[in-house]
Amino acid sequence: MTLFCSATCPYSHRARMVISEKAIAADVEYVDPSRPPEDLLELNPYGTIPTLVDRELVLHDSRIIMEYLDERFPHPPLHPMDPVARARARMLVHRIDQDWYSLLEEIESSGEKSTLRARKLLRESLIAATPAFEAKPFFLSEEFSLVDCAIAPLLWRLASLGIDLPRQSDVIRHYASRLFERPAFQASLSEYERELPVTFEALSA
């Protein structure tokens, strides 16, 4: 099994996080997304990352990759077993992508005016979601899940995106601390990601 990914891409990061949580023996091959290698293009004509190759199977969407890895390696489970709870978790990841990751992409790729707008919207959206971070030990769940794998790379990048959270959102900092201190999260970090500034000053506070 091989995961083609970027050292900087948050979508790649969350796929790596699932691999680490599951302790999967997979080769992680870092590529430059602007210059995808020929062997990746042969497997995935879009040249997008992350791309997972497992024998004859090729997957190239981070959500599909995350769910496949959870089903292929069922222990520890990162998705609820109940169909209703599983569907709700999938909707949460979808909303995280639509509401937060879309703004992250805008910050990283737009001009100054659009970047300021997207940064403000993302900050306000995270603050508005404070009760969801506070409700349970993990994001709307008693157990660590794929939803947390989806959120963690975004929170890790907040400082590098120029986003700081107010003290009234300390609950998000404590939630992030629980994720960042997980051995699997630390193992999932690329060298680039290890060097990123972190919004939360005292992760263990």
Beta bridge partners of 30: 5
β-strand pairing of 27-30 with 2-5: parallel
Confidence at residue 89, expressed as pLDDT on a 0 to 100 scale: 95
The rounded distance, in Å, linking the Cα atoms of 9 and 182 is 20
For the segment 145-156, what is each residue's pLDDT rounded down to a tens digit?
999 999 999 999
Q: Which whole-number Å values give the CA distances from 78 to 46, 71, 144, in the listed order?
A: 28, 9, 7
The answer to whether residue 201 scores a pLDDT higher than 80 is: no
Residue 56 domain boundaries: 2-72
The chain-wide mean pLDDT, for the chain, equals 92
- Degrees to nearest 5, angle at CA 134 with 132 and 138: 80
The rounded distance, in Å, linking the Cα atoms of 187 and 100 is 24
For the segment 97-118, what is each residue's pLDDT rounded down to a tens digit?
999 999 999 998 876 777 899 9
The residue-averaged pLDDT of 51-62 equals 95
Does residue 98 sit within a domain?
A: yes
- pLDDT band for position 205 (cuts 50, 70, 90): very low
Of 160 and 112, the structure prediction assigns the larger pLDDT to 160
Of 115 and 65, the structure prediction assigns the larger pLDDT to 65
Q: Which residues are catalytic?
A: 9
For the segment 176-200, what is each residue's pLDDT rounded down to a tens digit?
999 999 999 999 999 999 999 986 6
Does residue 202 sit within a domain?
A: no
The answer to whether residue 202 scores a pLDDT higher than 50 is: no
Please report, for the domain that includes residue 6, its CATH number: 3.40.30.10
Does residue 181 sit within a domain?
A: yes
* 101 and 66 in a common domain: no
* 147 and 89 in a common domain: yes
Of 168 and 51, the structure prediction assigns the larger pLDDT to 51
Q: What share of the chain has pLDDT > 70, as a percent?
A: 96
